[in-house]
């Protein structure tokens, strides 16, 4: 089978494996079913698959059952270790001629190692980390940077769109580039939100009405989705950081930066850790 035949077959049969039904994975898998995909799904906690099984998805008890020669498997997993634990030599052998699309936010270096292991097994690999909260996944409004070999990205693109990507951004062929974009973006989000919070506290103390400050700034220089949504949350007293994502992603950011100075990322690591422990 040539890559093109694989691509056509996949397009024709709209069939995929899906591993990882977390906060983002579940709505993305649901979108695939809505788009007509026949899914074989696996999740560590099998009960989370119930809504998908109710709509015709096949539940696999083991990741091995999700892989088949020439097939497409999406993994929507938490971190490097989780992806590495799925993409074992046996699993890759079973997926030969196929494609693995990984949405996990992990180290660029891990992606490079995984890609080499996939290539050796004759499996394509595409890194496609996801920008968007679960509500955005459900609304098919995700922004997705992706990287990998051109023919693998061509095959991955329709799957990612069916999963809820409103926009795909091609970061090139070098593995790690899409992940670096995601780490850059998450760092920028965390910095923007903490900065906005610090600014509003100062403004309130100086006697300004924080709502008017938010209204002005988010309709002029900071008229961007991230400031508009978090501005409203800050006004109602929350920062929106309730998950472990900020700590994890700042850690990946600093590790990826290596010897480069990361004064802001390092400060934010301290701040989000303090916040979570408070």
Q: Which residues are catalytic?
A: 182
Contacts of residue 110, defined as CB under 8 A and 6 or more positions apart, other chains included, come to 80, 83, 84
Q: What are phi and psi of 43, to 5 degrees?
A: -145, 145
Minimum distance between the CB of residue 180 and a second copy, rounded to whole angstroms?
A: 4
Q: Are strands 142-148 and 124-127 parallel, antiparallel or unpaired?
A: antiparallel
* Interactions with a second copy, residue window 237-266 (CB under 8 A): 253, 256-258, 260-265
What does 111-158 look like in DSSP terms, one character per residue? HHHHHHHHHHTT-EEEE---BS-HHHHHTT-EEEEEEE-HHHHHHHHH
Could you tell me the two tokens for 116?
Answer: 């080499």
Taking CB under 8 A as the criterion, which residues in 139-198 touch a second copy?
A: 143, 145, 167, 169-172, 174-181, 183-185, 187-189, 191-192, 194-196, 198
Interaction pattern, residues 88-117, with a second copy; x per rule: CB under 8 A? --------------------x---------
Element (H, E) at 172: none
Judged by beta carbon, residue 184 or residue 242, the one nearer a second copy is 184
For the CB of residue 132, give the shortest distance to a second copy in the complex, in Å.
Answer: 9
Q: Which stretch binds a second copy (CB under 8 A): 22-30, 65-73, 87-95, 216-224?
A: 216-224
Distance CA 134, CA 141 (A): 10
Q: Which stretch binds a second copy (CB under 8 A): 52-60, 91-99, 210-218, 232-240?
A: 210-218
CA 33 centroid distance within chain = 19
Size of the site for a second copy (CB under 8 A): 66
3-state secondary structure (DSSP) of residue 98:
coil
Per the CB < 8 A criterion, the answer to whether 27 and 138 are in contact is: yes
**Closer to a second copy by Cβ: residue 91 or 175:** 175
Closest approach, Cβ 199 to a second copy, in A, equals 4
Q: Cβ of residue 99: shortest distance to a second copy, in angstroms?
A: 22
Which C-beta is closer to a second copy: that of 242 or that of 267? 267
In contact, 124 and 100? CB cutoff 8 Å: yes
CB 167 to a second copy: min, Å: 7
Which residues does residue 167 pair with via DSSP β-bridges, in sequence order? Answer: 143
CB–CB of 69/98 below 8 Å? yes
40 vs 111 by CB, closer to a second copy: 111
Q: Where does this chain bind a second copy (CB under 8 A)?
A: 108, 131, 143, 145, 167, 169-172, 174-181, 183-185, 187-189, 191-192, 194-196, 198-203, 205-209, 212-213, 215-217, 219-227, 253, 256-258, 260-265, 267, 270-271
């Amino acid at each position: 089978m040539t890559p093109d035949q694989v691509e056509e077959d996949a397009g024709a049969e709209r069939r995929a494996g899906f591993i990882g039904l977390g906060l983002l994975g579940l709505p993305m898998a649901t979108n695939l079913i809505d788009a007509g995909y026949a899914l074989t799904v696996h999740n560590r906690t099998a009960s989370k698959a119930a809504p998908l099984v109710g709509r015709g998805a096949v539940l696999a008890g083991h990741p091995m059952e999700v892989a088949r020669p020439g097939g497409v498997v999406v993994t929507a997993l938490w971190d490097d270790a989780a992806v590495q634990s799925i993409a074992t030599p046996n699993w890759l052998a079973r997926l030969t001629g196929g494609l693995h699309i990984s949405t996990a936010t992990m180290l660029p270096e891990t992606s490079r190692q995984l890609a080499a292991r996939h290539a050796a097994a004759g499996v394509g690999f595409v890194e496609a980390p996801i920008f968007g909260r679960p509500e955005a996944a459900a609304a098919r409004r995700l922004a997705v940077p992706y990287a990998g070999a051109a023919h693998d990205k061509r095959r991955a693109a329709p799957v990612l769109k069916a999963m809820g990507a409103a926009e795909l951004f091609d970061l090139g062929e070098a593995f790690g580039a899409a992940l670096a974009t995601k780490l850059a973006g998450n760092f920028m989000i965390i910095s923007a939100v903490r900065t906005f919070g610090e600014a509003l506290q100062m403004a309130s103390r100086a006697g300004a009405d924080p709502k008017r400050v938010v209204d002005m700034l988010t309709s002029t220089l900071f008229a961007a989705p991230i400031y508009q949504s978090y501005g409203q949350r800050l006004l109602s007293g929350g920062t929106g950081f309730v998950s472990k994502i900020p700590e994890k992603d700042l850690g990946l950011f600093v590790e990826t930066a290596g010897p480069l100075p990361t004064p802001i990322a390092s400060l934010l690591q301290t701040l989000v850790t303090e916040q979570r422990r408070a």
